[in-house]
Structure formats: structure tokens, C-alpha cells
Amino acid sequence: MAMLKTRPTRPLTYQAYDRVVGKQGRVLVLLSIMTLFLLGGIGTRLGYLQIVEGDRNRQMADENRIRLIPKPPERGKILDRKGRILAGNKFSYSVFLWPLAAKKPEWPQTVRILSRVLNIPASEIEARVKQAGVNSPSLIRIAQGITPAQIVALEEHRNFLTGVEIDREAMRFYPHGETAAHIIGYIGELNEEELAARRDQGYRLGDVMGKMGVEATYEKVLRGTWGGQQVEVDGQGKVIRILGQKVARPGNDITLSVDLDLQKAAEAALGNRPGAIVAMDPRDGSILALASYPAFDPNWFARRMTQAQWEELQRRQFPFVNRALQGFPPASTFKIVTTVAGLESGKFSPDTVLMTYPALYSGGFAFHDWNRAGFGPLGFVGAMAWSSNTFFGQVARRIGPETLIEWARRFGMGSKTGIDLPGEAAGFVPDPKWKQETFGEGWYDGDSLITAIGQGALQVSPVQAAVMFAVPANGGYKVRPHLIASENPARWRQSLNLKPSTVQVLRQGLRQVVTSGTGAALNVPEVAIAGKSGTGEDPPRPHHTWFGAYAPADKPEIVVVAFAENSGGGGGSVAGPMVLKVIQTYMKIRDR
């Protein structure tokens, strides 16, 4: 058997051992130096973070555990003159998102769930969070006024919705739906441009503001002041304790001069005709009712509008246009101004009698009386009662355009009345300068004839017409229409310094319109009414119809002007019955 030979092992000498030991020592030295270096670097960094960056890091830590829960103020209520709520608030549930608490890996799933349950595009949710900032310590409202079914659906997905909360908050509510919509207006959430413009006024993301009507005019009064809580939360986003609290201050309530019952009567009288009705106290200009059709339901804007609601609005003919504030040819109602201009010019007396004709001729054109026959000799009272175009055309010829135009402007035409609603048009009063600049020609006799009977380029709003009818009703004062209840009538009116005889002629003429003229439909036994009809041409479309009146005739308390846009028919037969219904309602409710 062969023997296994082994190689003899060389004994470890001192020199070899010394070389190994020397290397180990150097390694230990290097490790020690590196350890000291690392510890020194860490210590330096810790010192820098604590001393130099301490405040900033503490703020970042606080933002991870401290949350701001903003509490919007309860918006002030809008009340009618008897204290009934026109715009109030009710509590509903809203969905809020806290981006800082949301788990980033779960974010796409969170957005998908919210989008599906709330029926909101995912891109809209993401854009909202981006606008607020992903590190925002405040809650962001995603949806308002959610349904019980949506609440249940979100609770079922609670484990996948970190950073999502459901809370109760006040939401605007309009208990009467479309009633008085053009008076009240509506609110809406600020868009990016509005938010940027109003941020220095305390507005924030998700805030709302008045967009139309009284809601917009009195935004500062109604708005209130935000409050909120500062709370500490754990890693799951649950509140541990409240660190501080600022109570939200509600907005102030506003009482309007409008009477809800009269407003409903005006809207019922107008029905589904495009147009407007204005009811006003002639003594101080306070608006008692203001109706415009088509209208809208302001509740649709208090929460996210549905597709069906949007489509319904598209079917209506300009529902957001307040026709009570827009200009239209005033037709024969303007003969009030022509009468005043003639009597105050000194060229006519209250006893003046003029022959009326089938037509007046100027520049080869015939300006017909509406009956195409004339009415024989008439004074101012009879001419008003029968609305003779040829009578008032002769008055305009003699006094000249300057006097007629001056009195139209003294009545407030061509200027905004100053009513406390946005979107008012000034109307328009044509004059020789305008005609020269617009058409390159002078003012003709025919221009005076057509203006004297409220036609041509002349434009007057129903509110301006109500101001005009208030002048004979109150004895010669131009009033400023307003919606805020007031106990100081003198503040809202200005004397036109009319002769008592001028006022008397106006009153007699307007009363005779009802007793024996074109407004006989308003001649009822329960109340004496004075007024004037108008039929305004709007070719090639059907003409407009007007009727303005006040009552009681001997001591007026209310002026009502009705305007029907492109209704056809006559002012006395179409607009007159509307006015009568409103006046009759007023007489029934005035002492309630």
C-alpha cells in the first residue's frame, strides 16, 4: 500500500508573524479613522438639522401631524319685507380630501373610487388637489350636498380612502325655487381667476360668492368670516386633540322691500311669456316685486348641476337675462314724458286743444295715428286717453327735439336708475349728435315725431318705466328704485319741479285711459286705477306690449309696469290684465 506523502509545513517565523500583525494594525487604524469621520459627519449633519434647519424641520413635522380644519361661515339670510326667508341655509354632507394624509401608492385607487361614487371626473379631482398643493395641511372640499347612498358607498370603501372625510356643513338653500330668482340671484364657487383676484380679501379654495342678484350686490354683508380648528392627528389621520379653535362668524341677514306674495302674483300674471313685471312703491322707489321670464332655479347652482338641469337651461331663452333691467322701445307709455315736455315748455297750456288726423307727413313719410282715422279735436287729457299719435307728434314738432330729449333724460332715461342689482342697462335716448355720428346725417322732423310716441332708437327698461309712472303718482318726484327696506322716503326721491297743473293733467289723462280709453280692462269697482298702454314695434318680429299703472288713483301706493316681449296684440289687452292681477293682489295683502 503506497504511503501518502505530505509536504512539510514551514514553521511560522517571527518576521512573517510580524508582517501579519502589522497589517491588522493598519486596518484597525483605518477603520477607526473612518468611524470617527462618519460619526463626525453624522453629528455635524444632526447639528445642522437641529440648529440651522430646526425651525423648518419642526414645521414639516407639525404639518405631518397637525391639520387645519376650516369651517366656512354660515351665509346671511335674505328675507322679504315680512321676514320670510327667500335665501337661507340648510346642513348637508360634503366630501373633503386631505392630500397630506393620503397614501401615495393608493392615490390612483382613491381618485377612481371618489370619481365613480361622486360622479366627478378624476381629472377634476386631481386638478383641485394640484391647485391646493399636495402638501396642503387643510382639507379640500371635493363635493357638496352628497346623497345618503353616496355616503354609504364611501363608507364601504373606507379602508381604501385614507385622507378622505365626510363632514356636515351649511349649504345655500332657496325654499321657493324659481320665485324671485332674478332678484335673489345665486352663489357659486370661485374659479381660479376669481380666487386669485380675491385671495387678499380672505377668500380661499372652495369658497363661494354671490354671482348674480342680491347675492352679488351684498356679498360683503352676507358672506361672514371663516373659522376653523387646528387639530393633532396620529399616523392614521385620526384626531388626537384639538389645539386651537376660531369660531366662524356668520354673515348678516338682509331684509328686502319685496313682498313674497306679491312676487308670486307677478310671476303668475306673467306666466310663460318672455317679459317682465315691476311693482314699486311710488312714494320712495322701494321694489315690491320684480319678475322676469324665463327664469331659473338658484338651487341648481348651490350644488353640482346635473346634466338634466343643464339641458333644461339650454332650452330656455336667455334665462339669466333680467328683462326688467333691459331696454326696449317704450311705445305710447312715453307720452307721459311728451306731455310734461309740452306743458313745461310754456308753448302749451293745460287747456290746449289740437286737431288730430289720420297721419302726419314729413319727408315723404306718413306717421299714422293708430286708428288710421284720427280722433278729431283733443286736449292733453283726451289725447292721453285715446293715445293719439298725431296729437303728440304735433307737440314734439313745436317744442323741438332739444326740449323733448332734455325731459326724457330728466326722467332718468339714458342713465342707470341705480337699482341695487347688477346688470342694469342704461337704455338709450337718441339725439342729433348721435345721429350725425352714427348715420352721418342731421336730425329730421320725422325723428321727433317717432321719438314723441316712444318708437325709433329710444330704449327704456321696465324699471325705468316704473320710475316714469311714479312721477304723476307721487306728485312730481323722480325716485330711485331699490330693494333694501328703508324708512326714509326722502332719501330716495328728487323733485322734478313740475307745475301743479302739469301733474294734474297727467293724473286726469291716465285715469281717463282706464275709465274710457285704451285701458278699459282695468276699470274695476274695487279700486280706482290710472295707467297707460303701449304697443312697441319690433319688425320683423311681433311687437312688444306694455301697460303701466298706479293705484289707488287718488292716493297711489303702488306702481305696476308689465312688459311682454314680442307678444303681439295690444298693450291694453295683453299687458293690462297682468297689471290688474298684481294690483288686485296688493289690495288684498297690503294690510296683512
Q: Just list the catalytic residues.
A: 332
At residue 578, the 3 state secondary structure works out as: helix
Asked if 301 contacts 517 with a C-beta cutoff of 8 angstroms, the reply is no
Asked if 260 contacts 176 with a C-beta cutoff of 8 angstroms, the reply is yes
Question: Which regions of 100-250 does DSSP assign to beta strands (E)?
Answer: 140-143, 164-173, 187-189, 208-210, 227-233, 239-246
What residue type is assigned to position 453 of the chain? I
- Helix boundaries (H) for 199-270: 213-217, 219-223, 260-270
Angle at 507 between CA 451 and CA 547, to 5 degrees: 55
What residue type is assigned to position 295 of the chain? A
At residue 264, the 3 state secondary structure works out as: helix
Q: Which residue has the cell 285704451?
A: 518
Asked if 201 contacts 54 with a C-beta cutoff of 8 angstroms, the reply is no
The three three-digit cell numbers of residue 555, written as one number = 292716493
CA distance 202 to 67: 19
Using CA atoms, how far residue 408 sits from 17, 280, 384, 478, 480, in Å, is 122, 20, 17, 12, 16
CA distance 363 to 532: 30
Of the candidates 218, 231, 185, which has an alpha carbon nearest to the alpha carbon of residue 71?
Answer: 231
CA distance 342 to 587: 34
CA distance 56 to 19: 54
